Structure 1
Amino acid sequence: MPAPSITFDGLPSGARTAIEAETGPILRVENVSTGLNSSLSALAHTAGGVVFLKGLRSDHRWAWTQQREADINPYVTPLAPRLLFHAIADGWDLLGFEAIDGHHADYSPGSPDLPIVTGALRELSSLPCPDIELRRAEQRLAAYVAHPADTDAFAGDTLLHTDWNNHNVLIADDRAHLVDWGWATRGAPWIDPAHWIIWLIAAGHTPSAAEETVAFLPAWALAPSRAVAAFADASANLWEEIAGPAPDDWTMNMLNAARLWQQHRSHRS
């Protein structure tokens, strides 16, 4: 379930005071729609510039993702926006980032954003995986594979983002900026391209065309076919769990995309 949303003005006074202690006086706040993983999502306009704010209640089950984002940020800038502060106050866990003035990536066929996102995938794969606490791909997908041994091929020491929702990719000045690193993972280098393939199919690509989009990424070129098929199976099972018995249109689209790719890989293997 998505985190319940809140506006900046709806925060308790102690949380607002803690934010302004970091940003200086806030002149204007622009509340923006939240994603699935954040309750607060807002742009704070100050005399010194614009700060992107995100937050969760400190007792929320995903509050740990706030610390994960804070821990990983020094290792992923400038691919990610720079973290300006991390504050915990009045029951809220709050992050402030430099604001990126750009647009959400367009994943549709023929989009000029596709090679830019491909470049970000290539850049991310070249970053060393930091020695911080991260989830492991083989652990995250263990419940969704047909055979426990299938997860062995998901293991690795590459830093992965794993959440390639186009709202997590901002395009500005012909560069992709990746946000929402709370689910960063350590795993095999081909897994991020594999995650992106499902989002590409959801945006209108055929499975073959989606794979062609990532074909020139070195990490994808080395992906074992049987391992990719196992990942496609696991991803379809994961999206079926997310969808539940009464999925909304967005979730159903993602589930259908995962199933299409699963079928495509089963025919290839």
Structure 2
Amino acid sequence: MTTTRIHWADLPGSVHRGVTARLGTPIVATETVSAGFNSEIAAKLTTSSGAVFVKGMQSSHPRVWTQQREAEINHHVAGLAPTLLWHLEVGGWSLVAFEHVEARHADYRVVGDLELMVDTLSQLGRTPCPPTELRRAEQRWAAYVDDSGMLARFAGSSLLHTDLNNENVLIRGNQALLVDWAWSTRGAPWIDPALWVIWLVAAGGHSPASAEAWAARIPAWSLGDPTLVNVFAKAQARMWADIAGNDPDPWTAGLNQAAQQWDRFREGSCAF
């Protein structure tokens, strides 16, 4: 579900005043950030002391819980994500502020960016899931898996990002940072590398085989046996077909096509 983006100037005065007070200095410039789908507000706020990135939703929004989730997750992913500065509830809005990162979005067709993602996802695969309430992998994809025994093997104690859209990856120097942890999940560590395969195919320039070759550079990938990954690929194909429906937008259609390609590839190959 895509959320309509609102400009900073359109927020109530009470929100402007509350954020200015939290920043401790007047805002001298604002810039709406277009990337991302999950927030009603996403803006770069510049003050005389520097810039911050603020994202948020109205407190009545059905997914406002994702704001708290991002705030809770952030200190567990130090070095993997921009640093959270504060979480503020004001004027009917829930806002989280992060350090502003001078960076660009990852390009999954560029070898250097892929190598940085391998490093980041390898580190994430070693990150234990924090003791906070998160979705569980075996629950998230239950509707798309027929074999309950296989589904149970999606479970695990690793922290998963699960939304590896290239716009959720910021390249800063020689580092790939992950943003937008709204769909973070507790599960088996091989799941993020497996999901990355679909994003690589959708980006263009990758066959399912070459995408898997990149995923195989991440140690956690080898923890999912071929039969289990086949089941997961089928679940993703079913899920994206469900999301796409009969008249998908181009972005959704591209992800659906990539998921179907990967599923067909897995049906004909069980090798990592």
Query: TM-score of the superposition, structure 1-length normalised?
Result: 0.97
Unaligned runs of 5+ in 1: none
Native 8 Å contact 1:229 1:265 kept in 2: yes
Matches within 5 A, 1:246-265: 246-265=247-266
Q: Which residue does 2:60 correspond to in 1?
A: 59
Q: Which residue does 1:124 correspond to in 2?
A: 124
Deviation at 1:146, TM superposition (A): 2.5
Deviation at 1:222, TM superposition (A): 2.2
Q: Which residue does 2:7 correspond to in 1?
A: 7
Amino acid at match of 2:256: L
Cα-to-partner distance string for 1:159-205 (whole Å, 9 max, x where unaligned): 11110000100000110111001111110010000110000000121
Matches within 5 A, 1:99-118: 99-108=100-109, 110-118=110-118
Amino acid at match of 2:238: N
Q: Within 1, Cα distance between the matches of 2:227 and 2:62? A: 34
Amino acid at match of 2:77: V
Q: Which residue does 2:239 correspond to in 1?
A: 238
Matched, 1:87 2:88: yes
Q: Within 2, Cα distance between the matches of 1:11 and 1:231? A: 42
Native 8 Å contact 2:35 2:167 kept in 1: no
Which stretch of structure 1 is more off in the superposition, 238-247 or 94-103? 238-247
Q: Within 1, Cα distance between the matches of 2:224 and 2:201? A: 19
Native 8 Å contact 1:104 1:166 kept in 2: yes
Q: Which residue does 2:210 correspond to in 1?
A: 209
Deviation at 1:36, TM superposition (A): 1.6
Q: Secondary structure at the match of 2:256?
A: helix
**Number of paired residues?**
268
Matches within 5 A, 1:141-152: 141-152=141-152
Native 8 Å contact 1:34 1:40 kept in 2: no
Q: Within 2, Cα distance between the matches of 1:57 and 1:241? A: 28
Q: Within 1, Cα distance between the matches of 2:152 and 2:268? A: 22
Matched, 1:229 2:218: no
Q: Within 1, Cα distance between the matches of 2:18 and 2:238? A: 42
Native 8 Å contact 1:137 1:155 kept in 2: yes
Matched, 1:29 2:2: no
Deviation at 1:241, TM superposition (A): 2.0
Unaligned runs of 5+ in 2: none
Native 8 Å contact 1:5 1:34 kept in 2: no
Deviation at 1:34, TM superposition (A): 4.3
Native 8 Å contact 1:150 1:230 kept in 2: yes
Q: Which residue does 1:133 correspond to in 2?
A: 133
Q: Within 2, Cα distance between the matches of 1:244 and 1:59? A: 28
Deviation at 1:216, TM superposition (A): 2.3
Q: Secondary structure at the match of 2:153?
A: helix
Which stretch of structure 1 is more off in the superposition, 94-103 or 218-227? 218-227
Amino acid at match of 1:256: Q
Judged with a 3 Å threshold, the aligned counterparts in structure 2 of structure 1 residues 192 and 179 are, in CA distance, closer, same or farther, namely: same
Deviation at 1:33, TM superposition (A): 0.6
Q: Which residue does 2:45 correspond to in 1?
A: 44
Amino acid at match of 1:260: Q
Amino acid at match of 1:121: L
The alignment's C-alpha RMSD in Å is 1.1
Amino acid at match of 1:19: V
Between the aligned residues of both structures, percent identity stands at: 48
Q: Within 1, Cα distance between the matches of 2:15 and 2:58? A: 10
Deviation at 1:149, TM superposition (A): 2.9
Q: Within 2, Cα distance between the matches of 1:128 and 1:22? A: 32
Q: Within 2, Cα distance between the matches of 1:222 and 1:150? A: 14
Q: Within 2, Cα distance between the matches of 1:262 and 1:13? A: 50
Q: Secondary structure at the match of 2:115?
A: helix
Q: Which residue does 1:178 correspond to in 2?
A: 178
